[in-house]
Amino acid sequence: MVAIGMALVWAGYAVGIWGYCLVRGYDVSFMNVFAAQWPGATTVATPGHSLGTITGNVQTTNPGQ
């Protein structure tokens, strides 16, 4: 009984995550929701690599510094 309950909770979680992805506009299938990397995704820069600057950005995140 506990295993069935856990499976139902996990299934609800999976459907909820997939629905959130669809609402946000991500083009991901239900099976790809739990993949290690989604199709078309880019890898994150490794430490030590510069990500560059955003041109025209004048927003100050911490004006006290």
The answer to whether residue 1 scores a pLDDT higher than 90 is yes
The predicted structure's pLDDT at residue 61: 60
The predicted structure's pLDDT at residue 55: 63
Cα four-point dihedral sign 32, 42, 45, 25: negative
Q: What is the pLDDT of residues 7-57, one digit of tens each?
A: 999 999 989 998 998 898 887 888 887 776 666 666 665 565 555 565 665
What is the model's pTM?
A: 0.51
Tokens of 37: 């990397």
Cα distance between residue 32 and residue 6, in whole Å: 21
Asked if 42 and 35 count as a contact pair (C-beta separation under 8 A), the reply is no
The predicted structure's pLDDT at residue 47: 60
